[in-house]
Structure 1
Amino acid sequence: MLITGGTLADGRVRDVRVTEETIDAVAPDLDPAADERVIDAHGKHLLPGAIDVHVHFREPGGSHKETWRTGSRSAAAGGVTTVVDQPNTDPPTVDGAAFDAKARLAADASLVDYGINGGVVPEWDPDTLFDRPLFALGEIFLADSTGEMGIDLSLFEDALERAADAEVPVTVHAEDATLFDRDALDGDLGGSGREARSDRWSAFRTPEAEADAVRRAVDAGQRAAGRLHIAHTSTPEGVDATDGTDATCEVTPHHLFLSTDDCDRLGTFGRMNPPLRDPDRRDALFERLRDGRIDVVATDHAPHTVAEKRQPLTDAPSGVPGVETMLPLLLDAVRREKLTLERVREVTATAPAAIFDLPQKGAIEEGIDADLVLVDLTDGREIEAAALHSACGWTPFEDRSGVFPELTTVRGRVVYERDPATGAESFGEPLGEPVRSSADP
């Protein structure tokens, strides 16, 4: 394949030749070979495929919400070429047998490359888990109230030490349940679904609960001399708690583009952990994205069915889908001159690849995996749930605008293509591979 005249994130106009799975050349005015497919990218931008280091594809145990097949199709249509699945499936990925079962599902169905995180519970089995090509430990729930995946600080510190010995990074969900405001859930919580008052969930899971837990997680990570990554940081205070440390942090699109101002519209469809924050905190997060203090944008793609979300506030499950809309929302911010394209490339590709040791990912360079996304930044379009590909069938970003890919490749093979004239879509066949081999730590 030869992609001609594409504008890279840094403004250079280049042709990109793909040979088998890798990028063979990046240069101006390459001559096409007789057997190459030539794609004219003049006037469009070519980006490295996004790496979403935080998804919940729900298999095994929750295939009515999402599967590796539907989740990876959604990823490919959104320009995400590598995903990292979290361990809170059923059964949770806390031992070798559970890891193997999930890996088989991914290998049979995923269109995109994938990593699998192991979990930590009081009964976890690190001996068999670390024998597998584990991507990371996480999402570890530190002092959280989420049930079976929650652990105390002493077990967290033990997991950090074991992970450091194995050279495996640790992803932590940092909220301290002892600082939740339980009075916020007293009284009238509204009805169910979109009638419920999800702003009360934001008041319940306080900003202080996150910031305090981030600080304690970072301190523990420093003592263990391991690599610590803070998941879905929802407050500027949480981001700032990683400043001057070796810890990295991610922020989700819903915490960057939504706030408690959206709670009336969303109801329980806007319930997630950590919750939406007030507009001032949302704006402060976005400013930290602009100025480089946020390392990664990842989705915490956590789909639930419409029926499941249409329950009263304290019964509805937490989580929103997002793997297909992350890159389009960020690119639309570029289109509106609120972000630079280089910054989007950094937080969705370059930094995730560097933080999680993926040297073949995250760039457009000779010898790198040909994970590529072609976009037209002038083509902003309305986000509609009916046009998305997740099994859950809804999005919290309905009616917002996004810039969606025209082409997505994974290791040189087209996994998603949209005709810019007709809008007709096509998908490739499952080809995803693990991003950790059995020889890796």
Structure 2
Amino acid sequence: MLIRNATLPDGHQRDVRVRGESIVEVGRDLDASDQHVIEATGKRLFPGMIDAHVHFRQPGYPHKETWETGSRSAAAGGVTTVVDQPNTDPPTVDGEAFDQKAEFAADSVVDWGINGGVTADWIPNVLLRRRLFALGEVFLADSTGDMGIEADLFADALEAAADTDVPVTVHAEDADYFNDDAKARDDADAWSAFRTAKAEAEAVERACTVAKEHDATIHIAHTSTPEGVDIASEAGMTTEVTPHHLLLSRRDLSELGTFGRMNPPLRREKRRQKLYERVVDGTVDMIATDHAPHTREEKDASIWDAPSGVPGVETVLPLLLAEARDPDSGLTYERVRDLTARNPADVFDIPQKGAIEAGKDADLVLVDTIETSEISGAALHSKCDWTPFEGHDAVFPEWTMVRGTVVYERGDALADDATPQEDVFYDHQGENVRGADSERLE
């Protein structure tokens, strides 16, 4: 296959040749004879996003999401690799639980990794022998799944991970700095008032100190404050920021209500702006979604009873591309590439992914950045049919490729009086697994 005249994130126009699962050549005016040619003039080609933080809920909670529905949502948003977190049921804290989750992950239409968790009854000598992506999300405070751990166990986990050269991802919040006075409130902002910004900063500081003591490197998940980012960066650790912490703040909670509850919570607008600046200037290493779907019925509760988490795997790259279209945002297409592909591949040592270069996996996403559409929860492919980004502008992919196989094609938009063609998904063997009959793109 030859993808011709595509504009890469750096603005250069190139041809990209794919053979089998790999990119074999990138250049100008490449020979197109005996090749299937995809004309990409005027469109941009990105490396597929690596989302290092998702909760696909299976096993245990398939009514919220499954590997099949979550991965289709990922593919439709240009995410070609996902990493699932351990707080499922059973939690991924031993070899048997890992193997069970891996069986469910076989339904995924995108590439995947599985993180192992740490609890009081975890079995490190078995779990760490599995093909873990990382150890974590290691919870320093309770969140969904009640997997918060004590300081001594955290130190033991870091030591075990360092001995086996497994990276560690940390959910950094210190419950000692939660504001119990906020529990007297029942408004949507009470959750943000309860789980304070100081709770995150103190936990990041402590986690980085313990990591240095054990000669370990940690990655701070869903960093929601500029203070947390700065502490981790100065300590030589890496950070991720979610799209909701990047683009939403406490001022959005009056509209979102309990659908805006997540851990860590949304912060004040000034903090959000400073966090955005650190994303733009390179201090933040990557964007990851913390895709954590719940049903509408579950979220439609009091602020103290609603579960924490929002979906995001399908909307993250489209939102970032819409931001990059705006010259005033400071966010460039190259920076989007680094945040979503190159840096996650470097941080988690996935050398075959993250770039459009010869020898890399052919994980590719074609987009028309001239074309924007409004996000609608009802139109997304997750089992969760809502989004905190309802009505936001986005740039959705035309198609998504995983290791040389097109796994998603967006349905053609037809006239207003016609029925639009349904989106089409494929598995890695090229079988049409959902959608209207259509000729396979490649």
TM-score by length of 2: 0.94
Determine helix, strand or coil for the equivalent of 2:397. Answer: coil
> Retained in 2: the 8 A contact 1:145–1:177?
no
Per-residue deviation at 1:421? Answer: 4.6
Determine helix, strand or coil for the equivalent of 1:150. Answer: coil
Structure 2 equivalent of residue 217 of structure 1? 207
Q: How does 1:25-424 map to 2 (within 5 A)?
A: 25-34=25-34, 36-107=35-106, 109-144=107-142, 148-187=146-185, 189=186, 197-337=187-327, 338=329, 339-419=331-411, 421-422=413-414, 424=421
> Retained in 1: the 8 A contact 2:45–2:365?
yes
Aligned residues: 422
- What do you get for the CA RMSD once the two structures are aligned? 1.3
Change (3 A) 1:431 1:296: farther
Per-residue deviation at 1:37? Answer: 2.5
2:96 maps to amino acid = A
Per-residue deviation at 1:413? Answer: 0.1
Per-residue deviation at 1:244? Answer: 2.5
Higher RCO, 1 or 2 (CA under 8 Å, sep at least 6)? 1
Q: Percent identity?
A: 63
CA distance in 1, matches of 2:142, 2:153: 13
Gaps of 5+ in 1: 190-196, 433-441
> Retained in 2: the 8 A contact 1:372–1:409?
yes
1:221 maps to amino acid = A
> Retained in 2: the 8 A contact 1:57–1:68?
yes
Per-residue deviation at 1:185? Answer: 1.7
> Retained in 2: the 8 A contact 1:111–1:431?
no
> Retained in 1: the 8 A contact 2:85–2:136?
yes
Determine helix, strand or coil for the equivalent of 1:286. Answer: helix
> Retained in 2: the 8 A contact 1:3–1:15?
yes
2:212 maps to amino acid = Q
Determine helix, strand or coil for the equivalent of 2:351. Answer: coil
Render the CA deviation track for 1:348-386: whole Å, top value 9, x for unaligned: 000000000100000000010000001111111100011
CA distance in 1, matches of 2:243, 2:264: 13
4+ aligned runs moved over 2 Å, structure 1? 143-148, 243-246, 419-424
CA distance in 2, matches of 1:130, 1:147: 21
Per-residue deviation at 1:30? Answer: 1.3
CA distance in 2, matches of 1:291, 1:25: 31
CA distance in 1, matches of 2:64, 2:74: 15
CA distance in 2, matches of 1:365, 1:140: 34
Render the CA deviation track for 1:382-429: whole Å, top value 9, x for unaligned: 000111000011000000110010010000000011255546321112
CA distance in 2, matches of 1:421, 1:32: 29
Structure 1 equivalent of residue 16 of structure 2? 16
Change (3 A) 1:73 1:146: closer
Per-residue deviation at 1:174? Answer: 0.2
> Retained in 1: the 8 A contact 2:88–2:145?
no
Per-residue deviation at 1:336? Answer: 1.3
Change (3 A) 1:147 1:76: closer
Per-residue deviation at 1:300? Answer: 0.1
Determine helix, strand or coil for the equivalent of 2:139. Answer: strand
Per-residue deviation at 1:33? Answer: 3.3
Per-residue deviation at 1:176? Answer: 0.4
CA distance in 2, matches of 1:33, 1:48: 25
> Retained in 2: the 8 A contact 1:110–1:430?
no
Change (3 A) 1:431 1:269: farther
Render the CA deviation track for 1:152-196: whole Å, top value 9, x for unaligned: 111001100100111000000000011100111204x1xxxxxxx
Gaps of 5+ in 2: 415-419, 431-442
Determine helix, strand or coil for the equivalent of 1:151. Answer: coil
Determine helix, strand or coil for the equivalent of 1:81. Answer: strand
> Retained in 2: the 8 A contact 1:406–1:420?
no
Structure 1 equivalent of residue 434 of structure 2? none
Change (3 A) 1:122 1:311: same
CA distance in 2, matches of 1:297, 1:266: 22
2:41 maps to amino acid = H
TM-score by length of 1: 0.94
> Retained in 2: the 8 A contact 1:61–1:90?
yes
Determine helix, strand or coil for the equivalent of 1:241. Answer: helix
CA distance in 2, matches of 1:127, 1:217: 23
Determine helix, strand or coil for the equivalent of 2:361. Answer: coil
Pick which of 126-135 and 71-80 moved more.
Answer: 126-135
Per-residue deviation at 1:145? Answer: 5.8
Determine helix, strand or coil for the equivalent of 1:131. Answer: coil
CA distance in 2, matches of 1:396, 1:8: 30
> Retained in 2: the 8 A contact 1:272–1:320?
yes
Change (3 A) 1:300 1:147: closer
1:371 maps to amino acid = D
Pick which of 304-313 and 239-248 moved more.
Answer: 239-248
Determine helix, strand or coil for the equivalent of 1:406. Answer: strand
